Amino acid sequence: MHWRRHGRAARDGRAETETAPASAAACAPAVVDCALYEDGARRPGSLALGEALDAARAKPGSFVWIGLHAPDTGDLSEIAQAFDLHPLAVEDAVEAHQRPKLEQYDDTLFLVLKTIVYVEHDVLTATSEVVDTGEIMVFAGDSFVVVVRHGSAPPLTEVRRRLEADPARLAHGPAAVVHAIADQVVDDYGTVADKVEEDFERLEADVFSSRRTDDAERVYQLKRELTEFRRAVVPLARPLERLVAGDIPGIGAPVAPYLRDVQDHLVLVRERLHGFTELLDSILSASLARVTVQQNTDMRKISAAAALIAVPTMFVGVYGMNFEHMPELHWTYGYPGVLILMATTCGLLYRAFRRNGWL
């Protein structure tokens, strides 16, 4: 059997329900796809939930894969009863808003993954949304996989199609599905990290450009979005570590090496996010330092302008006091002489300010 990492699938933005087969309707209202797999191949036609589960349990190497999107308690109740899902896990799957985690309830594995979607924007502003999070919950047992999506979690249609196109891989049962979903989620992390890096580069270019811009608010906004990104990525390290360790029932030795590959990619994304954090702190420091420099420059210019105005004001003030005995009051060239003196003094001050970079 050949296991391979697939490239990031291009998504056309359509909901998974648009491509769900007719068999989905036979399972439950919120189910967007429901299929029985035997020896890595999908059984054609449609089966009711109970029939599909009985068939999977009756034949070794068979399992049911059910996909749901934003189900409520009623949608999950029949499935939870059929697969004997733990009530606490079912509650988490309905309410969402969970951290990435891995829990084991008897023979059932419950894995929570946080998905990240990049929000396209022309210009990064102080209110721009950069990333959006969703959730994928996976229940995996010996003969079934139940996948629940919430929020902006992308459809898993392409993941299912790729697995169905590789029967040898799918023959490993629910463990293959767990790996494929985790692999896709972590691949999406890398894609979003590439996009976020472009935002960093544009922001960095603005901070160090010759144009006067106020970038502090944009830096803080990007920092908040990066924090949301990290909350999705960092906690996933522990669940993957447990899966790779091989002590989880249903995750056998053939699958563990490929989960280790997913773990390696997650480590790369975490390191990139750590680098982004350090870079963002540097950009913020540079932005604040630039504001300080600009303020100092402005103060020097204002001080220089005030000095240029103060000199003629001083001369005019002295000769405007109207005392009877003032120097040069009766001098024929006194008025033009004072004007020349004011102009010369202001010129010398202007030259001195220019030479020292104040103007």
What are the pLDDT digits (tens) for 151-205?
999 999 999 999 999 998 898 899 999 999 999 999 999 999 999 999 988 888 8
Correct CATH for 16-290 of 3.90.1150.10, 3.30.499.10, 1.10.600.10, 3.30.460.20: 3.30.460.20
Whole-prediction pTM value? 0.75
Residue 23 is predicted with a pLDDT of: 41
Q: How far apart are CA 38 and CA 216, in angstroms?
A: 57
Whether residue 265 has pLDDT greater than 90: yes
pLDDT, residue 213, reads: 67
Confidence of residue 257 (pLDDT cuts 50, 70, 90): confident
Per the CB < 8 A criterion, the answer to whether 255 and 309 are in contact is no
Q: What is the pLDDT of residue 300?
A: 74
Per-residue pLDDT at 346: 77
Out of 63-67, 280-284, 332-336, the most confident range is 63-67
Distance, in Å, from the CA atom of 132 to the CA atom of 233, rounded to the nearest integer, reads 13
Nearest alpha carbon to residue 181 among 100, 267, 248, 235: 100
Mean local confidence (pLDDT), 60-82 = 89
Query: Among 220, 223, 226, which residue's Cα sits nearest to residue 126?
Result: 220
pLDDT 10s digits, 317-339:
666 655 555 566 666 666 677 77
- As given in the structure block, the two tokens for residue 12 are 């056309």
Q: What is the pLDDT of residue 319?
A: 62
Q: What gap in Å lies between CA 27 and CA 146, rounded to an integer?
A: 12
- The better pLDDT of the pair 110, 340 is held by 110
What pLDDT sits at residue 247? 75
| pLDDT level of residue 133 (50, 70, 90 thresholds) | very high
Q: How many CB atoms lie within 10 A of CB 95?
A: 11
Per domain, the residue ranges of the chain are 16-290, 296-355
> If you average pLDDT over residues 298-309, what whole number do you get?
74
Q: What pLDDT was estimated at residue 24?
A: 42
From 3.90.420.10, 3.20.80.10, 3.30.479.10, 1.20.58.340, which CATH number describes the 296-355 domain? 1.20.58.340
Residue 168's contacts (CB-CB under 8 Å, 6 or more residues apart) are 1, 2, 40
Going by C-alpha positions, the residue among 226, 176, 229, 181 that lies closest to residue 200 is 226
Average pLDDT, the chain: 81
